[in-house]
């Protein structure tokens, strides 16, 4: 695999982990088996799956449950005192494998493997490593640093020069301006309309329809944390509409309409909802599917309310 392909995979993986860690979620079992391709097409995007071992973490408190998969588990997890940086170690192991084709810690059995992980000695020797760039090896070293306090965070790894240099996005200026204008014009007057649009945009839009939206979102999300901050939106409007554009006022208005959960930023679902082409999105077939879903939900709630209202009277009889 060429380094550019490895860098694209790592950028997507690290972006997902940055988003998780910013939301105080640690995965704890990152490995190639938990990375799925959206399709068989060249350059297909990856998805991180299997959050069965994930946990909400508190940055002031260490986690203690020993959990994970041999080859990818961090040494501090084996010592049962660790933070979210255990995910960065696992990502570092994945990068190591992408670059050379084999894991950094091997043994005859799980016991041998975990003993080697506890020692944490990383070797990068052989033909594959001779061909690897210094930037790639530097990132591996920072992600597989034994001391978690000195180890890169997911955000630092994502911002490494190796990833930035090999993962430059091609910007479609006119399309980006169109999406920003869609955000300016986005309106929903009713909660039901908002919910229906969110469901259709997130669940019924095709990958092809969302592909350019994803690429543009990544370009606008300059720090790669999976959400658009106010400062990032202001910078985007000034870049695409000129320095004299009243970006601060415009973004304030946009946030009041698009930030549905009022968390101070725009996540990907909110971005898709506000920018996707509504004329193409709201086809008759999708509207029928959305109606069927909401119809089932409303019927279920009505039945629940009915049981709550009627049951006491039945008992009295």
Q: Kindly name the residue from 5, 29, 221, 225 that is annotated as catalytic.
A: 29
The pairing of beta strand 55-56 with beta strand 25-26: antiparallel
295 C-beta neighbours (distance < 10 Å), count: 10
DSSP 225-274: SSEE-HHHHHHHHHHHH-TTS-HHHHHHHHHHHH-TT-SSSEEHHHHHHH
Residue 105 dihedral angles phi and psi, to the nearest 5°? -125, 120
Residue 264 contacts by C-beta under 8 Å, 6 or more apart in sequence?
Answer: 229, 230, 255
How far apart are alpha carbons 215 and 173 in whole angstroms? 12
Q: How many Cβ atoms from other residues are within 10 Å of residue 157's Cβ?
A: 24
CB distance 24 to 164 below 8 Å: no
The answer to whether 244 is a known catalytic residue is no
Neighbours of 151 (CB within 10 A): 22
- Residue numbers annotated as active site: 29
């Amino acid at each position: 695999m060429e380094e550019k392909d490895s860098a694209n995979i790592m950028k997507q993986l690290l972006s997902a982990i940055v988003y998780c860690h910013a939301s105080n979620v640690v995965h704890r079992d990152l490995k190639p088996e938990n990375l799925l391709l959206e399709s068989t097409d060249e350059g297909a995007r990856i998805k991180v799956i299997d959050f069965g071992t994930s946990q909400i973490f508190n940055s002031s408190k260490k986690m203690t449950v020993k959990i994970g998969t041999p080859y990818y588990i961090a040494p501090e997890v084996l010592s049962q005192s660790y933070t979210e940086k255990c995910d960065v170690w696992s990502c570092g192991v994945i990068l190591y494998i992408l670059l050379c084709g084999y894991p950094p810690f091997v043994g005859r059995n799980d016991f041998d493997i975990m003993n080697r992980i506890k020692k944490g000695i990383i070797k990068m020797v052989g033909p594959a490593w001779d061909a690897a760039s210094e930037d790639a090896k530097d990132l591996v070293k920072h992600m597989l640093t034994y001391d978690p306090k000195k180890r890169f965070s997911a955000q630092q790894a994502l911002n490494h020069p190796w990833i930035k240099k090999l993962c430059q996005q091609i910007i479609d200026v006119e399309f980006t301006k169109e999406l920003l204008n869609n955000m300016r014009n986005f309106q929903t007057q009713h909660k039901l309309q908002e919910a229906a649009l969110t469901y259709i945009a997130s669940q019924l839009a095709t990958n092809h329809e969302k592909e350019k939206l994803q690429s543009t979102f990544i370009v606008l999300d300059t720090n790669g944390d999976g959400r658009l901050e106010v400062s990032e939106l202001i910078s985007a409007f000034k870049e695409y509409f000129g320095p004299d554009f009243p970006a601060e006022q415009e973004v304030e208005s946009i946030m009041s309409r698009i930030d549905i959960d009022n968390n101070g930023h725009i996540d990907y679902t909110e971005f898709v909802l506000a920018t996707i082409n509504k004329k193409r999105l709201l086809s008759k077939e999708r509207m029928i599917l959305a109606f069927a879903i909401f119809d089932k939900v409303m019927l279920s709630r009505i039945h629940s309310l009915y049981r709550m209202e009627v049951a006491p009277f039945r008992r009295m009889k």
